Chains A and B, each alone.
Chain A
Amino acid sequence: MTDQVGQIVQVVSKEEDKVSQVAGANSISEVLRRLDFLNAVKDIRRFNYICKLLHLLITQNLTSLSGCGSKVLFSMLERVASQDHQEVYCWGRPLGSTLLWERHFRTLERICRVASGISFTPRPDPGPPRLTDLPAELMREILLRLTDPRDLRAAGQACRTMDNLLHERHVWRQLVRFHFTQTQIATARAQYLRPGGAVAGANSISEVLRRLDFLNAVKDIRRFNYICKLLHLLITQNLTSLSGCGSKVLFSMLERVASQGTDVVLEYPW
């Protein structure tokens, strides 16, 4: 029961958590399997979500799915369709009036008519295939095998499809995982993304500046603007109320910012 609940929490919670569970999985069949979507159809709380997912997959990805992927897709569809064969008991009697039920039956008939009218026509021959005709999954696999950001940039410049894929965070996430160790990433996250974590418990400004290593951060081109803004704030609002240490750090930072003009090195951080 607890891990059922855990699973549901994971599905509804933000993208971040989802990514952790499906990290490294690139194919749709793999993701569906890991999140146990086949059984999720029976879960009333996930049903709507799954129908939406199916709709998306069918309208956009149907032709590019792998054999296993489409197998899972159709098994899910079948389960969704067989969902209302199961008898539903409610208190006393069926819900709704006869009128309502007749309307439902008419809808059902209409659906069946549409379903029987669907026919498959093979696509006219599109000519010789090109790299961009490969499904997005495969293009992503290729990009995931590039370890130098310069290669990624060249790929993005040469081809619009690849450029679009490069806007996904997945590729960059994997690239970071490749170049840095888990500890490095954790430290960086604490410093850059969640400064709250690194400065918890610190009360004075000098302490915060020291812990976040702002003095050296001045040299980091990516944080430079941010730091200038911070300095502006500190000077206009807090200058007179800073402690001795605080104002010392502040002026050292100012000095470094001022001397920045000469030795900025524009390079990749890795």
Chain B
Amino acid sequence: MVIARLQSKDGDIFIIDVDVAKRSNTLKLAIEMSKIDLDDDVIPIENITSNVLKPIIDWLTYHKDDEPSEPIKILKAKPYYISNWDKEFLKMDLKLLYEIMNAAHFLDIKDLVDLGCKHIANIIKISSHEELTEIFEFEATPILLTELEQIENM
């Protein structure tokens, strides 16, 4: 097994299977294009801290045998089945989830971004807008006319 060493912002080094790492398009690009010597070099990931990188690696490792997803057919998917393992994975503070989504976006891991978006979409689906303000800690905003209301008023 060929391994890759990832170094987080805090300096911790994570050792993972190179095929797992390549599920991230950014890392794949880094490994294939920039002649990193996998035996000696660490791949520094300067903008992701250990507490965020750890769950991402766990997720990647668990899902390493999944078929790489098709380019997302947005909205065509049935509303949001999330597997049990992923449900356990998502039992975390929302703040950590935001950081993970941001990091997954940077690392270009489509499926993980997708999972985060689905989770948040599911929350929006079951909440009223007052509840949303509370859950996501939005600043209270005066209600603006959305496009929908404009259509209704037409």
Contacts and interface: CB of A to CB of B under 8 A. Distances in A.
A244 interface: no
A141 B117 contact: yes
Given A157-B143, A158-B133, A68 B75 contact: no
B14 interface: no
Interface in A132-165: 132-135, 137-138, 141-142, 144-149, 151-160, 163
Interface residues of A, number: 48
Given A128-B95, A132-B138, A160-B144, A66 B117 contact: no
Interface string B107-123: 11000011011101100
Contacts of A71: 26, 29
B146 interface: yes
B151 interface: yes
B102 interface: yes
Contacts of B68: none
Given A131-B136, A132-B138, A178 B144 contact: no
Interface residues of B, number: 53
A26 B101 CA distance: 15
Contacts of A131: 94, 98, 120, 136-138
A159 B98 CA distance: 16
B59 interface: no
A153 B125 contact: no
Contacts of B74: 24, 26, 144-145, 174
Contacts of A177: 75
Contact of B108 (A66, A138, A144): A66
A67 B138 contact: no
Contacts of B89: none
A177 B149 CA distance: 20
A157 B136 contact: no
B26 A66 contact: yes
A68 B29 contact: yes
A134 B106 contact: no
B107 A146 contact: no
A169 to B, nearest CB: 9
Contacts of A128: 95
A172 B147 CA distance: 9
B70 to A, nearest CB: 11
Given A66-B26, A141-B117, A145-B80, A157 B144 contact: yes
B127 interface: yes
Interface in A4-41: 24, 26-27, 29
A77 interface: no
Nearest to B126: A151
A146 B123 CA distance: 10
Contacts of A141: 113-114, 117
B73 A24 contact: yes
B101 A134 contact: yes
B154 interface: yes
A244 to B, nearest CB: 34
B99 interface: yes
Contacts of A133: 98, 102
A52 interface: no
A197 interface: no
Nearest to B127: A154
Contacts of A146: 121, 124-125
A137 B25 CA distance: 17
A135 B117 CA distance: 12
A149 B149 CA distance: 10
Contacts of A198: none
3 interchain residue pairs of minimum CB distance: A67-B26, A158-B132, A145-B121
6 contacts: A27-B108, A138-B105, A151-B125, A154-B132, A174-B75, A222-B151
